[in-house]
């Protein structure tokens, strides 16, 4: 697939065939948006169907859409979930993996995952522990369990095809508002306001004139995203993809490249002299010495094991007995580890 993306379909099919099926995919596939790390919006308004402007009413964000989409046509990354034949399951898998995880870490795990489980039913037929095992070191392994749960529901409720309706997507276990909107938009070319951390940063700078958006998505951000949403489905889906890619590659959190930005002449933050962030301190993510690190070490042992692991083997992974026990208890409570009699542990089997 070339860097220049094809136009989106005007009318998405009710259930787009997966890549492994023989049905002919749409001839004009939707653009797909990989980014450095997704940050799902927490409240449901973000991906709900947005009222369209009245006929002939000028679109408030038209001056933003055209340059960003044109930039996207030239600079969009060529990634496997963007392939015209990838299908909605590929989009869904990528969305789960890209949450808080950069593309370069996702790619090898994604490719192995799709080779093993090219359809939701393939994953649903396996034990959830196998999903955790295949998740490897992507981090936040509960995402693997949630993706497995969604695959089971898709196989049971939707004949094995990822549903196209936003409400049906949202009803799947493990699917939040961001993921439902993203899959509906990127896989089926629908019109939804898709807000991740990259889009929020682009809108904060270009429109609001501040360096960073708030730590948590606000109602004001959602209103702005809806106001800026193009009227046509295919343009709205392309705008969602393009603005997210712009935030990932150019309008980054650090070392933004204004000289390469298609919005440089229209950016409110740049026009104001790029004032520094004056809101609450930005949240950092520490890892070394945290319970997250201990959980990762314990899970790594269980992923490599072919048989249940004795407590004594896990004990060797971390010196602090209190922290180690807390981390192990947390893994059990989250359903990521299954305790067995005689002090044995394994990945979940059911």
- Round to whole Å and give the CA distance between 129 and 319: 26
Which residues is 310 bridged to in the sheet?
A: 344
Measured CA distances, 45 to 42, 185, 223, 242, 312 (Å) = 9, 15, 9, 21, 48
What does the longest C-alpha to C-alpha distance in the chain come to?
72
- The bridge status of strand 338-340 relative to strand 309-310 is unpaired
The region that residue 223 occupies, defined by phi over 0 for left and psi between -120 and 50 for alpha, beta otherwise, is alpha
- Round to whole Å and give the CA distance between 17 and 32: 16
Tell me, yes or no, if 95 is annotated catalytic: yes
DSSP SS3 for 49: strand
- Round to whole Å and give the CA distance between 209 and 268: 4
- Residue from 166, 159, 161, 164 nearest 194 by CA: 166
Distance from chain centroid for Cα 244: 11
Q: Given 18, 39, 95, 256, which residue is catalytic?
A: 95
Contact by Cβ (8 Å): 226, 240: no
Contacting residues for 110 by C-beta, under 8 A, at least 6 apart: 80, 81, 93, 94, 97
Contact by Cβ (8 Å): 345, 302: yes
Q: Which residues are catalytic?
A: 95
């Amino acid at each position: 697939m070339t860097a220049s993306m094809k136009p989106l379909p005007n009318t998405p099919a009710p259930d787009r065939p997966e890549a492994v099926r023989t049905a002919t995919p749409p001839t004009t596939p939707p653009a797909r948006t990989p980014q450095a790390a997704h940050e799902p919006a927490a409240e449901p308004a973000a991906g709900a169907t947005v009222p369209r402007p009245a006929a002939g009413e000028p679109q408030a964000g038209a001056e933003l859409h055209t340059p960003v989409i044109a930039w996207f046509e030239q600079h969009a990354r060529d990634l496997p979930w963007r392939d015209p034949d990838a299908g909605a399951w590929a989009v869904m898998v990528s969305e789960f993996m890209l949450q808080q995880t950069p593309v370069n870490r996702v790619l090898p795990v994604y490719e192995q995952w799709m080779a093993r489980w090219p359809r939701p039913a393939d994953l649903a037929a396996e034990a959830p522990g196998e999903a955790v095992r295949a998740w490897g070191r992507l981090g936040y392994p509960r995402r693997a369990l949630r993706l497995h749960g969604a695959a089971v529901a898709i196989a049971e409720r939707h004949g094995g095809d990822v549903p196209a309706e936003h409400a049906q997507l949202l009803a799947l276990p493990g699917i939040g508002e961001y993921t439902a909107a993203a899959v509906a938009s990127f896989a089926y070319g629908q019109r939804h306001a898709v807000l991740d951390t990259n889009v929020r940063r682009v809108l904060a700078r270009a429109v609001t004139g501040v360096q960073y958006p708030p730590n948590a998505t606000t109602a004001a951000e959602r209103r702005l995203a809806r106001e800026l949403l193009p009227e046509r489905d295919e343009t709205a889906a392309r705008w969602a993809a393009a603005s997210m890619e712009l935030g990932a590659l150019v309008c980054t959190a650090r070392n933004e490249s204004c000289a390469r930005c298609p919005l440089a002449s229209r950016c409110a933050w740049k026009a104001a002299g790029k004032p520094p962030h004056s809101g609450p301190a930005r949240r950092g993510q520490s890892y070394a010495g945290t319970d997250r690190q201990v959980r990762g070490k314990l899970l790594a042992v269980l992923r490599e094991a072919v048989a249940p692991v004795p407590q004594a083997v896990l004990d060797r992974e971390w010196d602090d007995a209190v922290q180690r026990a807390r981390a192990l208890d947390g893994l059990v409570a989250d359903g990521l580890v299954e305790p067995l009699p005689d002090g044995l542990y394994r990945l979940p089997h059911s």
